[in-house]
Amino acid sequence: MRRLLIPLVTVSILALGGCATNKRKDDLTTTLNAYASTVRWGDFNSALNFVDPKVREEHPIPPLEMSRYQQYKVSGYDEGNGPTPNGEFEAKQVVKINLVNVNTQAERTVTDHQTWRYDAESKHWYLETGLPDISAGKL
């Protein structure tokens, strides 16, 4: 009986580990889709909620800089090949965001290099790299 118990326990532990990994992947997909939708609508104030709270606390965005996001309408959001896993609790993604200046109607593209980290405590994916940098000097 003991001979059967050890393999059964081992298989059960491996299966549960696989379930956790699949759940994290599904959560990442859900989070990335929600973030993309938020940015597509140009709602950068809500997009800020996807940024890791520790990053927001250490690097707060001044109101003047947040107001710059209101100068632009998002005309495109292209995830390219989607996220690339970087270990068990991190994913990277490169996104091209097309922005139209509401004052000049000039369009430009920002390349946003995103790093997403899974927080096991809150069971949530957070954006580590902050909101896309839309300042003219970075394009």
pLDDT tens, 6-33?
A: 444 443 333 444 566 789 999 999 999 9
- pLDDT, residue 21, reads 77
Contacts of 120 (CB under 8 A, 6+ apart): 89
Write the class of the CATH domain 2-138: alpha beta
Contact between residue 112 and residue 79 where contact means Cβ atoms under 8 Å apart:
no
**Average pLDDT over the chain, rounded to an integer:** 87
**Selection from 105, 49, 96 nearest residue 72 by Cα:** 105
Could you read off the pLDDT of 86-109 as tens digits, one per residue?
999 999 999 999 999 999 999 999
The enclosing H or E element of 135 equals none
Could you read off the pLDDT of 54-94 as tens digits, one per residue?
999 999 999 999 999 999 999 999 999 999 999 999 999 99
Contact between residue 109 and residue 94 where contact means Cβ atoms under 8 Å apart:
no
Residue 60 is given by DSSP the state P
Tell me how far CA of residue 82 lies from CA of 13, 28, 68, 107, 117, in angstroms.
Answer: 30, 11, 27, 23, 15
What is the C-alpha to C-alpha distance for residues 38 and 132, in angstroms, rounded to an integer? 13
Tell me how far CA of residue 62 lies from CA of 6, 56, 100, 134, in angstroms.
Answer: 57, 11, 22, 14
